[in-house]
């Protein structure tokens, strides 16, 4: 665990209304949230300003995506600069849904990471394998390819968190066992050690994502190379507070 600060992110995906978001803001304000854990939430773009204005100060906001150009004729996209302008500190890039539903390639994700960092955003960079890839024994081949495309575009590792999200465990109710998660996180840390540096390997936080809930978060949080969670559906519910407090 070293001295890496635990981080929990809530990816709201395409969910929410002002009414439901008011409820989320209320339970985040009530908490209590572990002071030793960094908390980030990623609302849909149209609610970013509203959430920023109403959230407790100790909770940061993330855009769920951004393009790799500052401005231009890109209908439907937002830029990293726009996200910074309204108070975002983070952006989530490379999420499996961006890869597998919207067809984003490793190359596109790498370009997005590079641009977001130069624009002043910190990045939650997502990687993960499909069920078929895991069953074929190709988990780490896939992850190595994905993380290399991201690493090649990183100018400042202190502003990047890696999120390992096995695609077969996202929204399915299936979760990697604590041992499976730890095994992959350790492999990722060793990859960083071999290909980047000992210091980056020691300091880079690696989050786990994939059906994390109040029932399994504590067992996952004690694994030495699990430095936090990226949470989907459970981040819309009061149970998210328990997940934030998994290390209390």
Give catalytic residues, as residue numbers: 95, 165
> Do residues 112 and 77 touch, judged by C-beta distance below 8 A?
no
Cα separation, 177 vs 173, in Å, equals 12
The helix/strand/coil state of 242 is helix
Identify the bridge partners of residue 62 per DSSP, sorted by sequence position.
90
User: Residues 6 or more apart from 7 whose CB is under 8 A from it?
Assistant: 37, 38, 39, 40, 161, 205, 207, 227, 228
Q: Which residues contact 37 (CB under 8 A, 6 or more apart)?
A: 5, 6, 7, 8, 228, 244, 245, 247
């Amino acid at each position: 665990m070293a001295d890496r600060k635990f981080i929990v992110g809530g990816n709201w995906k395409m969910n929410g209304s002002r009414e439901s978001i008011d409820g989320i803001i209320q339970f985040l304000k009530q908490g209590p949230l572990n002071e030793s854990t960094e908390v980030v939430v990623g609302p849909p773009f149209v609610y970013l300003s509203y959430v920023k204005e109403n959230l407790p100060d100790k909770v940061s906001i993330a855009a769920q995506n951004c393009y790799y150009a500052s401005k231009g004729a890109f209908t439907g996209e937002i830029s990293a600069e726009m996200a910074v302008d309204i108070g975002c500190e983070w952006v989530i890039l490379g999420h499996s849904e961006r890869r597998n539903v919207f067809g984003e390639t490793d190359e596109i994700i790498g370009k997005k990471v590079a641009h977001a960092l130069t624009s002043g955003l910190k990045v939650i960079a997502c990687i993960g394998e499909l069920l078929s890839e895991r069953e074929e024994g190709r988990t780490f081949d896939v992850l190595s390819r994905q993380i290399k495309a991201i690493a090649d575009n990183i100018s400042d590792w202190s502003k990047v968190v890696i999120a390992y999200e096995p695609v077969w465990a996202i929204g399915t109710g299936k979760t990697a066992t604590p041992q499976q998660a730890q095994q992959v996180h350790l492999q990722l840390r060793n990859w960083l050690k071999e290909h980047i540096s000992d210091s980056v390997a020691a300091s880079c936080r690696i989050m786990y994502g994939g059906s994390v809930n109040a029932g399994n978060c504590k067992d996952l949080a004690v694994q030495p190379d699990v430095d936090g969670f990226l949470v989907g559906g459970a981040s819309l519910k009061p149970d998210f507070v328990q997940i934030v407090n998994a290390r209390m």
